[in-house]
Amino acid sequence: MDQQLRITEIFYSLQGETNTVGIPTVFVRLTGCPLRCSYCDTAYAFSGGEKRSIGEIIAEVGRYNTRFVTVTGGEPLAQPGCHPLMTGLLDAGYSVSLETSGALDVAAVDARVVKVVDLKTPSSGEMQRNLYRNLDFLLPHDQVKFVIADAADYEWSKQQLEHYRLAQRCEVLFSPVMGVMPPAALAERILADQLTVRFQIQLHKYLWNDARGK
């Protein structure tokens, strides 16, 4: 438990996305990311941070009255210590989700973790970084997320949904880029095409805008 990771922040908030939206959750935000997505809203996590041991991180998580923990970034898998951290949290009785870009290998992620894999859409500028073999490691409790800025993103996401039969593998999330794709426009497209996906908006942005630590 003395392995150290570089941590940008640990905070308690409502889950703003995924299928646990609205549930009080502790977020452990790891520092660093090899991607530079056009719509990134956590660029402050690219560098800096503070070194914390796994034991210290789990102890801080324990200050809050919830069993839900989200390990996020940056790109958390960019730090090898992310794996023992997640396993340590699981062994401590927490329900752990991992927010990952999908550009790094998820094969070694503890099977108990809920992987939320963000397949990068064309507008992200990082579509070429998608590691499609990660889809082979999806479990039924995992989720694949598409962040959609425009009609081209939507059509591309729909093609991936069908080509990889994603809805048969796990839950699929379609999310609009805030301030770019009107949420109602995306919702109407999903209904018109009768897609088997979950529409989501970023609840935390409606509540607190882009406030850090929320």
Q: Is 203 annotated as a binding residue?
A: no
The per-residue pLDDT for 211 is 61
pTM: 0.93
Q: Is 42 annotated as a binding residue?
A: yes
Six token digits for residue 137:
């490691």
Q: Is 39 annotated as a binding residue?
A: yes
Q: Is 40 annotated as a binding residue?
A: yes
pLDDT over 80 (residue 212): no
pLDDT tens for residues 156-196? 999 999 999 999 999 999 999 988 999 999 999 999 999 99
pLDDT tens for residues 133-148? 999 999 999 999 999 9
Q: Is 200 annotated as a binding residue?
A: no
The per-residue pLDDT for 2 is 72
Beta partners for residue 115, in sequence order: 98
The per-residue pLDDT for 209 is 73
Q: Is 74 annotated as a binding residue?
A: yes
Q: Is 82 annotated as a binding residue?
A: no
Q: Is 170 annotated as a binding residue?
A: no
* Average pLDDT for the chain: 94
Q: Is 98 annotated as a binding residue?
A: no
The per-residue pLDDT for 213 is 63
What span, in angstroms and rounded, lies between the C-alpha atoms of 126 and 162?
21
Handedness of CA 52, 41, 213, 86 (dihedral sign): negative
Q: What is the mean pLDDT of residues 20-25?
A: 94
Q: Which of 25-29, 45-49, 68-72 has the lowest mean pLDDT?
A: 45-49
Mention every residue, 6+ apart, whose C-beta is less than 8 A from residue 195.
158, 161, 174
Q: Is 164 annotated as a binding residue?
A: no
- All domains of the chain, ordered by start, with CATH? 4-208 (3.20.20.70)
